[in-house]
Amino acid sequence: MPLITLEPCTFALFGALGDLALRKLFPALYQLDRAGLLHADTRIIGLARDEGDQAQHLAFIEKNLRGYIPDSQIDSTSLDSFFTRVSWLKMDFLDASDYPALADLAGTNQTLVAYFATPASVYGGICENLAAVGLDENTRVVLEKPIGHDLGSSRRVNDAVAKFFPENRVYRIDHYLGKETVQNLIALRFANSLFETQWNHHHISHVEITVAEKVGIEGRWGYFDQAGQLRDMIQNHLLQLLCLIAMDPPSDLSADSIRDEKVKVLKALAPIGVEQIGQLVVRGQYIAGSSEGRPVPGYLEEENSNTQSDTETYVALRADIRNWRWSGVPFYLRTGKRLPSKLSQIVIHFKEPPHYIFAPEQRALMSNRLIIRLQPDEGISLQVMTKDQGLDKGMQLRAGPLNLNFSDTYRSSRVPDAYERLLLEVMRGNQNLFVRKDEIEAAWLWCDQLIDGWKRLGDSPRPYAAGTWGPMSAMALITRDGRSWYGDI
């Protein structure tokens, strides 16, 4: 039996035929239903402006579910039972006259979860229309990223929503916070006194955060070219990971205690002035290359591209946190599209022992590393030094892993998708895994200075071939400090 209490709710999905709904939200709701994690009275209302009746829309949803969910996890019985929860309403989200029908369908006897899988420009309008028909009393609103494209626009969106919904009913999604291993960062750090005593500049030399993607733009040119990798990935996912690694222990597990600590980290990030950008930040753009042995086009040759674009598809940077715990410990972040593999990992490099008693040539080996893998193969591995086995080896050292591979250890049949956890938490009214307004704004403030700096410098992205680990200058960024990116990458 699940350890969590299920609460009934009405889940209204704005943008129910969009890419996110088809790829992530419907599959997540289906999996929750199949796992018995939706309350018997929970209902789903699909909202879209497209023509077509309920049967046509459900057939389309089914086709997509079958495409995104492995065959072994989908069957007609579970699908039929899931679809008994779903109803459909055609509406124009900015037309107030379409909302009384939604109010009739939703009723007010249970919590309404209004999920905005739409452009952020319509969030304020939807909130106003919901309030006009009394659907603001018992409602939680879920906002998808990107919320704005800089501090000013993000404030405008947040303020428009705040006119109708207080912060404790606003759930801002960063889907990385729903990933199993990201959640485990909190357990790892605060349920093991072993690590907390080492978690500071006395013992840690530097931290790497890598989020590498194999895919290119995949038909998302229109959105991506306006955003770029800094706004699309660093401003949210990578800075959230940095916060979870760097934050002080919260006094409890409540949403605000955790978020208070994260905001402190964001506010302590050292500004990167225009004169430092060239040294501390690298932006790249992929050119034609290969992926999995087949040729792939460069960013400027992708479908619907604009051949003049200087949007970055890769960013590597060094961030410093100005506080007692992290003084002098650089955080190296890198993320890019069309890299050789899909890999998200955090590597904590501990300092070398202060005094060497082993052979000097082995000195380079001698620092412990804690590797936290978010994907693929979720797990945690601690690299420790041991003596190599064998009579002929003398006191030769070897770095070996103490491994915790989640799927082997917990034998779970599958790792749930981040959206399953996030949807479940919204339905339970738990804001732990959602980003507060001041967090988003602090992250924008820091990223805006970089975007502004690039503009002032007229900086163009450095080319890198698709299927490689990014521009050469990203290597220089870290080797300049006498270090290298972890592993063979």
Least Cα distance to 5 among 31, 48, 38 occurs for 38
Taking CB under 6 A as the criterion, which residues in 297-356 touch ligand BG6?
344
Contacts 24+ apart (CB under 8 A), 256-263: 256/431, 256/436, 258/186, 258/432, 259/431, 259/435, 259/436, 259/439, 262/439, 263/436, 263/438, 263/439, 263/442
Q: Which of 33, 144, 225, 232 binds ligand BG6 (CB under 6 A)?
A: 232
Residue number with CB closer to ligand BG6 (228 or 330): 228
Residues across the chain: 489
- Give residue for tokens 């051949």: 307
Asked whether position 213 contacts ligand BG6 by CB under 6 A, the answer is: yes
| Minimum distance from residue 174 beta carbon to ligand BG6 (Å) | 8
| Minimum distance from residue 277 beta carbon to ligand BG6 (Å) | 23
C-alpha distances in Å from residue 319, one per residue of 209, 210, 269: 11, 13, 7
C-alpha span between 424 and 39 (Å, rounded): 11
C-alpha span between 456 and 277 (Å, rounded): 11
| Minimum distance from residue 341 beta carbon to ligand BG6 (Å) | 12
Taking CB under 6 A as the criterion, which residues in 449-468 touch ligand BG6?
none
Residue number with CB closer to ligand BG6 (106 or 423): 423
Taking CB under 6 A as the criterion, which residues in 11-40 touch ligand BG6?
none
| Minimum distance from residue 344 beta carbon to ligand BG6 (Å) | 6
Q: Both tokens of residue 362? A: 């082995």
C-alpha span between 222 and 240 (Å, rounded): 25
| Minimum distance from residue 106 beta carbon to ligand BG6 (Å) | 28
| Minimum distance from residue 179 beta carbon to ligand BG6 (Å) | 7
Residue number with CB closer to ligand BG6 (204 or 217): 217
Residue number with CB closer to ligand BG6 (23 or 483): 23
C-alpha span between 128 and 115 (Å, rounded): 15
Name the closest residue to ligand BG6 (Cβ).
Answer: 232
| Minimum distance from residue 239 beta carbon to ligand BG6 (Å) | 13
Residue number with CB closer to ligand BG6 (112 or 212): 212
Q: How far is CA 425 from the centre of its chain?
A: 16
Task: Spell out, one character per residue from 160 to 199, where the chain touches ligand BG6: x when CB under 6 A holds, - when not.
Answer: ----------------------------------------
| C-alpha radius of gyration, the chain, whole number | 24
Residue number with CB closer to ligand BG6 (232 or 312): 232
Residue number with CB closer to ligand BG6 (28 or 89): 28
Asked whether position 439 contacts ligand BG6 by CB under 6 A, the answer is: no
> What is the total count of residues that contact ligand BG6 (CB under 6 A)?
3
Least Cα distance to 327 among 206, 197, 450 occurs for 206
Residues recognised as catalytic: 237
Q: Which residue spans within 264-304 are E strands per DSSP?
A: 281-287, 289-291, 294-296
Amino acid identity for residue 477 in this structure: L
Residues 129, 99: contact at Cβ < 8 Å? yes
Residues 39, 10: contact at Cβ < 8 Å? no
The residues binding ligand BG6 (CB under 6 A) are: 213, 232, 344
